[in-house]
Amino acid sequence: MAIEPVNINEFQELAKQALPKMYYDYYTGGAEDQYTLKENVEAFSRILFQPTTLLDVSRINLSTTVLGYNLSSPIMLAPTGCHKLAHPEGEIATARAAAACKTIMVLSCVSTCTVEEVASSCDAIRFFQLYVYRRRDVSSQLVQRAERCGYKAIVLTVDTPRVGRREADIKNKMIMPEIPELKNFEGLMSTEVDSEKGSKLEAFASEILDPSLSWKDIGWLKSITNLPILIKGVLTAEDAVKAVDVGVAGIIVSNHGARQLDYTPPTISVLEEVVQAVGGKIPVLLDGGVRRGTDVFKALALGAQAVLIGRPVLYGLAAMGENGVKACHRDAQG
Ligand SMILES: Cc1cc2nc3c(=O)[nH]c(=O)nc-3n(C[C@H](O)[C@H](O)[C@H](O)COP(=O)(O)O)c2cc1C
Ligand SMILES: CC(C)CC(=O)C(=O)O
């Protein structure tokens, strides 16, 4: 049955119809019991509004700024891997949608279009998400390429010393690194995996990701780039204070869309703690479970400068390409 989607959940339904099961499961799934996956969404439902009334709302303005860049609304596009699994235009379609929606796209380093292809496709404001690899030279080359082609910040993901146990991917023998190619790594390192069992994605990632990454490495990252650095994956006041101390430009409160360590708290439940610890010194952003405008409002009310949406972008892309991403960005406001 064809449906005219009016919200993100309906886009999810369309994505399910459009995608092979292996890819839909990869996009939608979380780690282990998927406790945090449910909680990311449900924790928003437990926060209720007690509105005051008779206020003049005839003129409203949703725009905001992040690191000095103007956004039409406080909803950015989170980094997610492999957009060509959802649509043949891949990250280029997503970037064009970001440009049309006047928002920031964070490009995943495991993208299926290169940093250069995405940069030359449109004038979207782009940040570049980085994993640190055992091969530091590969990480630094990627950072330098992003810097050269106009990405405005590095988003360092710190919650992935290894890939979470995603049981659907294990069952499906998820083959994401091979189909299609992870184009950023071409000529830098092999993306082939020598494993017949379980999730090839997990095997690939554990081969390349550097599990020794720690706070001291922020100094290394700062030494190889002039771009501002945001840390993605902070969930405690303690880490928020450390992030401020090492001099990053922003924090993203995130549990990786519940795909990494299960039984972490839902992000919205720890936002206030992080915001208080940061004390306004740097912007705090949030992702995880944001599905509509009331969620965005709750995050802003608890101190976030803006939010990011991950799966909603993939659902929109799978359902309708660039137009679907635009529609999901719009639906995340409604
Ligand atoms: C399919 C998929 C791939 C992802 N890939 C990345 C990635 O490459 N780098 C990263 O930092 N986060 C990645 N994430 C996490 C997102 O950036 C974001 O934290 C999460 O999706 C937010 O939750 P939401 O999907 O509920 O909006 C991925 C998430 C999904 C669903
Ligand atoms: C290569 C993976 C670690 C990509 C990712 O971040 C994810 O699938 O959540």
pLDDT at 236: 98
Q: DSSP string spanning 272-315?
A: HHHHHHHTTSS-EEEESS--SHHHHHHHHHTT-SEEEESHHHHH
Do 168 and 37 form a contact (C-beta atoms < 8 A)? no
Q: Model confidence at 179, in pLDDT bands (50, 70, 90)? A: very low
Q: Ligand 2 centre from 49 Cα, in Å?
A: 34
The domains of the chain are located at: 8-45+71-331
2: buried, middle or exposed (CB in 10 Å: 19+, 13-18, 0-12)? Answer: exposed
pLDDT at 187: 85
Nearest CA to ligand 2 atom 4: 81
3: buried, middle or exposed (CB in 10 Å: 19+, 13-18, 0-12)? Answer: exposed
pLDDT at 83: 96
CATH homologous superfamily of 8-45+71-331: Aldolase class I (3.20.20.70)
Q: Model confidence at 3, in pLDDT bands (50, 70, 90)? A: low
Active site residue 83: no
Q: Is the confidence at residue 188, as pLDDT, over 80?
A: yes
The tokens 């007690």 sit on which residue?
50
Instruction: Say whether 142 sits in a helix, a strand or coil.
Output: helix
Rounded mean pLDDT, 45-51: 97
Q: Is the pTM of this model over 0.95?
A: yes
Binding site per annotation, positions: 26, 79-81, 108, 129, 131, 157, 166, 232, 254, 256, 259, 287-291, 310-311
% the chain with pLDDT above 70: 98
Contacts with 85 (C-beta within 8 Å, 6 or more apart), sequence order: 19, 23, 26, 27, 112, 176, 179, 180
CB of 166 shorter than 6 A to ligand 1: no
Catalytic residue among 83, 87, 256, 329: 256
Q: Model confidence at 150, in pLDDT bands (50, 70, 90)? A: very high
Q: Is the confidence at residue 320, as pLDDT, over 80?
A: yes
Contacts with 258 (C-beta within 8 Å, 6 or more apart), sequence order: 30, 31, 34, 35, 36, 37, 39, 40, 264, 288
The ligand 2 atom nearest the CA atom of 204? 1
Do 139 and 133 form a contact (C-beta atoms < 8 A)? yes
Nearest CA to ligand 1 atom 5: 80
pLDDT at 178: 60
Q: Model confidence at 2, in pLDDT bands (50, 70, 90)? A: low
> 255-291, pLDDT tens digit by residue?
999 999 999 999 999 999 999 999 999 999 999 999 9
Strand segments, DSSP code E, in the chain are 64-66, 69-71, 75-77, 104-107, 125-130, 154-157, 229-234, 250-253, 284-287, 306-309
| CA atoms of 12 and 261, how far apart (whole Å) | 23
pLDDT at 175: 81
Q: What is the DSSP letter of 133?
A: B
| CA atoms of 72 and 150, how far apart (whole Å) | 20
Rounded mean pLDDT, 76-86: 96
| CA atoms of 155 and 158, how far apart (whole Å) | 9
CB of 200 shorter than 6 A to ligand 1: no
> 57-69, pLDDT tens digit by residue?
999 999 999 999 9
Nearest CA to ligand 1 atom 6: 80
CB of 311 shorter than 6 A to ligand 2: no
Nearest CA to ligand 1 atom 14: 80
- Reported ipTM: 0.99
